[in-house]
Structure formats: C-alpha cells, structure tokens
Amino acid sequence: MSLERLHQSATPSTPAVDFDPASGVLSLTGESYPENAFDYFRPLLTWVARFVDEGNTPIVAEIALSYLNTSSIKSVMDLLDLLESAHRRGRQATVRWSYADDNERALEMIEEFKEEVTLPFFIVPVSG
C-alpha cells in the first residue's frame, strides 16, 4: 500500500487525527467545531476512501470526540458510511468510541451514530 501515515494535530476547534495504514488504526480525539467542517474532513475522507479501496488491512476507528457541531456530525457520519461500506464488502471494520462517563449528551450522540451502522461499534465509558 502506498499510503503514508495521516496525521493532523488538534487545534482548539479541530480534533487530532492519526491514521496508520500499517496497523489500520484511525484515531480521532478532541472536539470538532471548525468554521468549515467539510473542508477540514475532506482530506481525511479522501484518504480513508483510498485506504478502503486499496487494501484489506482491518480498520479500527478509535474515536474520542467529546463535542461535534452539526457539520462535523455530518462529516463523521460520512466517515462511518465509508467504514460501513467496507464492512459490507467483507472488510473487517470496527468502531470504538470513548466518552467521559459523566457526559450524557455525548453518550446520546454516540448511540445515534451506532444506530446508523451495522459494523461492530463499541461504546466505551471512561471515568471522568
């Protein structure tokens, strides 16, 4: 596979992104409320789509996003759709979404994401 590791550092309004094509682990951590989420997530979605098309390495999305604005929610759903598509084609794809166990709003949002996909999706409470 010719893809290089994808890494973006977190900013106050964007999450840290780390995707290692060798391990298949995609990490998204922090908060996401950029001025233009579609522009922010476009490179990640393009990279993931290419990774899904070119390889067969299992994919594990390790997500710890505590807050997303509306356009970020749409972009994360686009990401989950890519993973769901890979899963339906037989690719091993898993989501593990961590959240502070005292953040009910985050849990509700994560549960809504989980309802939209059939791939293995684990909600992981973390002591706050």
Q: What is the mean pLDDT of the chain?
A: 94
Retrieve residue 127's tokens: 């002591």
Give 87-104 pLDDT, tens digit per residue.
999 999 999 999 999 999
Give pLDDT tens digits for 56-68.
899 999 999 989 9
What is the residue-wise DSSP string for 26-53? EEEEEEE--TTHHHHHHHHHHHHHHHHH
Q: Show the domains of the chain with their CATH numbers.
A: 6-126 (3.30.750)
Q: Give pLDDT, residue 63.
A: 98
**Helix, strand, coil shares, percent, the chain, to 5:** 40, 35, 30
CB 31 within 8 A of CB 65: yes
On the CB side of 8, CA atoms within 13 Å amount to 19
Partners of 65 in beta bridges: 30
Position 1 pLDDT exceeds 80: no
Q: What token pair was written down for 100?
A: 């502070």
Tokens coding 121: 């999706």
Predicted confidence band at 15 (pLDDT cuts at 50, 70, 90)? very high
